[in-house]
Chain A
């Protein structure tokens, strides 16, 4: 304890409550926005937060919304997202968001209130064992049992969340700990004897990888979200372009490589492009970069790139050899590894291979037949064209999500945000809210289905209250479309509980106090989009009444192989029955 000359304690060393220390620690971490919801167990923390102008608090309308907002903020900014909620129901409402962040490796720190230490285990009012509940869905979690450990625990929580393979960290804060006092001293350094993620790849392994690359004739780069998490887009571009290797990305890899580039092949996997799946099937070398061989990518793993040698670069050793045996595993941060790899690779003779892929692109492009009735593909394509790829597009889960992946041309990293691993309906709206605090420079778009939007629709109010200028696009096909598609294709068209009704979204938007528009025909789409993009002082809701029974293609049915790949059906090429030919056209989207 240091004291001033006059004997009083220096302001820095006066005793502070846990609540004050909490707030000061967030400021030390550079946190400027917190998404949260108050309650009895955190009332002291909210009192301390009241005086702090460095931190903006956004009161969501549900704790799930707060966690998704923190995720959206983290994904768009690359900085950790923060959520603060009360004990018991406040804490349990965060579970879905935490599980979502865990599956998608999103760095967030969730602070939960807890009953006083001596009441823990007593079934006290609003007690839930949130540390126990979230143990399998957090990267790590803490119960703070002594105010003297608080600052160091917060420091450690942010460190663990953001380093190595990022992920959610939960810190449980008992009410009495937050009320007791101690000196505030934010640790400068982290000292953890048990956690030490390594970022550099093994030199020998990198040399082996270079050898394989230099020998290959038909290489493919298979790029996942790890590349974006590691901010390695520039390194990826340099490698692909130097060696002349075509690039396919996973759902979370979208944006890591510009889809305007001729080496780009769009997404792979269940709803990936025909040509990326085909290229992966015929390649002689697959270079997995920050990807994890997820079953939505591989289908039947035994047949996935079966003939190819495989290199796997990932920071998480458990991701390697988990689903697929690889020839050269490299554990390390993608950015570092690609940097070390670049000087060792040569410009490859891939002219024939690239020519073959170009031909596949021409024979089996992404396409749809546009007519009077709105196709979601068209709306998404128009959003891409009107923004030139300079927008953050946050999709929900379902058919519209897959079309968003296919028909928007991604140019920049962190412009595509979605719930991939967990597939959480209701993610888009709150995540877009969070993203909009990270990106004021370009439009942020929430794109949901009529089902998913109704899962967190309460956040309309948050958008209005804080004048959050996001575009809320609702693709209304009157169905839980993706489930309906599976029932149509694999369950003999027995539509069980997939028809879903909705409120009048335009009136609802107005009731919440924001602008609402609707388009019911294709020729109205541009107009409502322009109207929505013109609003910058708050949210704009647009409902698109789209074709009800439409299917996402290409498709590799779950667990199947490239051989079962279903391309866009013939009818799509012939035209829709009953539609006047002058209002129809076959639209083809070029990726790369």
Chain B
């Protein structure tokens, strides 16, 4: 979970940034954004898109990396796209983020309960079960989801689906959850 941090001085070092943008649901809008990252050679760690409270607008959350001048250009270039309504870099603000993963893990009779214990520790749910597999649904910050995946890996992960980070700026300046 992001904490409110003061803006660091530009130091030319690469950092991870979470960019939240609102775009019009117009033909080609998504391609324009993906195309921009490809054409300018910007990194994308993850990109999510989904509807918002306004049905003409979608929200995209892009996790990218770069030094301050690259991030500045990314923000300006995103803003320049005609379909972009709003762009915000959440990195230096307090924001709530969630990532969701469905993890299908191989089980043997003697490992099943251990897997279920791990899931419990991470407050993850078992959403499917078969003689040879269980599917775990994990929700939380990226680090938390990374951690449970790491814990489950030794058992053998058969399949994994992950949403990537979605984020919103925090209004209440404290911890709720």
Write the residues of chain A forming the contact surface with B, with a CB cutoff of 8 angstroms: 131-132, 135-136, 139-143, 145, 160, 192-195, 316-318, 321-322, 325
Query: Which residues of B have CB within 8 Å of A140?
Result: 82
**For the complex, is B48 an interface residue (Cβ under 8 Å from A)?**
no
Contact present for B31 and A135 (CB under 8 Å):
yes
A141 CA to B83 CA in the complex, in Å?
A: 11
A143-B69 contact, Cβ under 8 Å, with A136-B35, A318-B80: no
Contact of B82 among A194, A316, A325 (CB under 8 A): A194
Q: What sequence of 0s and 1s flags, for each residue 66-96 of chain B, a beta carbon within 8 Å of any chain A beta carbon?
A: 0001001100110110111100000000000
Contact of B84 among A141, A194, A316 (CB under 8 A): A194
**For the complex, is B27 an interface residue (Cβ under 8 Å from A)?**
yes
Write the residues of chain B forming the contact surface with A, with a CB cutoff of 8 angstroms: 23-24, 27-28, 31-32, 35, 39, 69, 72-73, 76-77, 79-80, 82-85
**A145 nearest CB neighbor, chain B only:** B27
Contact present for A136 and B76 (CB under 8 Å):
no
A193 CA to B83 CA in the complex, in Å?
A: 9
Contact present for A135 and B32 (CB under 8 Å):
yes
Chain A min CB distance to B174 (Å): 33
A321 CA to B76 CA in the complex, in Å?
A: 11
Contact present for B73 and A141 (CB under 8 Å):
no
**A325 nearest CB neighbor, chain B only:** B69
Contact present for B28 and A194 (CB under 8 Å):
no
Contact present for B72 and A321 (CB under 8 Å):
yes
Contact of A318 among B23, B39, B73, B83 (CB under 8 A): B73
- A/B interface sample: 15 pairs, CB < 8 A: A131-B28, A132-B28, A132-B31, A135-B31, A135-B32, A136-B39, A139-B82, A142-B27, A192-B82, A194-B23, A194-B82, A317-B80, A318-B76, A321-B72, A325-B69
Contact of A194 among B24, B31, B35, B69 (CB under 8 A): B24
Besides the known contacts A136-B35, A143-B28, A317-B76, 15 further A-B residue pairs in the complex with CB atoms under 8 A apart: A131-B28, A135-B31, A135-B35, A136-B39, A140-B82, A143-B27, A194-B24, A194-B82, A194-B83, A317-B79, A317-B80, A318-B73, A321-B73, A322-B73, A325-B69
Contact present for A316 and B80 (CB under 8 Å):
yes
Chain B min CB distance to A42 (Å): 20
Contact present for B69 and A141 (CB under 8 Å):
no
Query: Which residues of A have CB within 8 Å of B35?
Result: 135-136
**A143 nearest CB neighbor, chain B only:** B27
Contact of B28 among A141, A160, A321, A322 (CB under 8 A): A141
Chain A min CB distance to B52 (Å): 13
Query: Which residues of A have CB within 8 Å of B23?
Result: 194
Contact of A321 among B39, B69, B79 (CB under 8 A): B69
Query: Which residues of B have CB within 8 Å of A135?
Result: 28, 31-32, 35
Contact present for A160 and B76 (CB under 8 Å):
no
Contact present for B82 and A160 (CB under 8 Å):
yes
A583 CA to B72 CA in the complex, in Å?
A: 59
Which 7 pairs from chain A and chain B are nearest by CB?
A: A140-B82, A318-B76, A194-B85, A317-B76, A195-B82, A136-B39, A194-B24
Query: Which residues of B have CB within 8 Å of A141?
Result: 28
Query: Which residues of B have CB within 8 Å of A195?
Result: 82
Query: Which residues of A have CB within 8 Å of B76?
Result: 317-318
Chain B min CB distance to A376 (Å): 37
Chain A min CB distance to B130 (Å): 39
Chain A min CB distance to B33 (Å): 11
Query: Which residues of A have CB within 8 Å of B85?
Result: 193-194
Contact present for A318 and B28 (CB under 8 Å):
no
A192 CA to B85 CA in the complex, in Å?
A: 9
A145 CA to B69 CA in the complex, in Å?
A: 39
Chain A min CB distance to B167 (Å): 21
**B56 nearest CB neighbor, chain A only:** A193
**B72 nearest CB neighbor, chain A only:** A321
Chain B min CB distance to A318 (Å): 4
A160 CA to B85 CA in the complex, in Å?
A: 15
A160 CA to B77 CA in the complex, in Å?
A: 16
Chain B min CB distance to A158 (Å): 13
Query: Which residues of B have CB within 8 Å of A193?
Result: 24, 85
Chain A min CB distance to B12 (Å): 11
**A164 nearest CB neighbor, chain B only:** B80
Query: Which residues of B have CB within 8 Å of A317?
Result: 76, 79-80
A143 CA to B26 CA in the complex, in Å?
A: 10
A324 CA to B174 CA in the complex, in Å?
A: 40
Chain A min CB distance to B148 (Å): 39
A192 CA to B83 CA in the complex, in Å?
A: 9
A194 CA to B84 CA in the complex, in Å?
A: 5
A135 CA to B82 CA in the complex, in Å?
A: 12
Query: Which residues of A have CB within 8 Å of B79?
Result: 317
Query: Which residues of A have CB within 8 Å of B39?
Result: 136
Query: Which residues of B have CB within 8 Å of A131?
Result: 27-28
A412 CA to B85 CA in the complex, in Å?
A: 39
Query: Which residues of A have CB within 8 Å of B24?
Result: 193-194
Query: Which residues of B have CB within 8 Å of A132?
Result: 28, 31
Chain A min CB distance to B112 (Å): 47
A317 CA to B84 CA in the complex, in Å?
A: 15
A143 CA to B29 CA in the complex, in Å?
A: 12
Query: Which residues of A have CB within 8 Å of B28?
Result: 131-132, 135, 141, 143
A193 CA to B25 CA in the complex, in Å?
A: 12
A177 CA to B38 CA in the complex, in Å?
A: 32
A139 CA to B32 CA in the complex, in Å?
A: 11
A321 CA to B74 CA in the complex, in Å?
A: 12
Query: Which residues of A have CB within 8 Å of B31?
Result: 132, 135
A37 CA to B72 CA in the complex, in Å?
A: 42
Query: Which residues of B have CB within 8 Å of A322?
Result: 73
A542 CA to B73 CA in the complex, in Å?
A: 47
A325 CA to B85 CA in the complex, in Å?
A: 27
Query: Which residues of B have CB within 8 Å of A142?
Result: 27
A166 CA to B170 CA in the complex, in Å?
A: 37
A160 CA to B81 CA in the complex, in Å?
A: 11
Query: Which residues of A have CB within 8 Å of B73?
Result: 318, 321-322
A325 CA to B69 CA in the complex, in Å?
A: 9
Query: Which residues of A have CB within 8 Å of B84?
Result: 194
Chain A min CB distance to B73 (Å): 6
**B85 nearest CB neighbor, chain A only:** A194
Chain A min CB distance to B30 (Å): 11
Query: Which residues of B have CB within 8 Å of A318?
Result: 73, 76-77, 80
Query: Which residues of B have CB within 8 Å of A192?
Result: 82
**A319 nearest CB neighbor, chain B only:** B76
**A160 nearest CB neighbor, chain B only:** B82
A160 CA to B83 CA in the complex, in Å?
A: 12
A318 CA to B78 CA in the complex, in Å?
A: 10
Chain B min CB distance to A138 (Å): 10
A318 CA to B77 CA in the complex, in Å?
A: 6
A139 CA to B79 CA in the complex, in Å?
A: 13
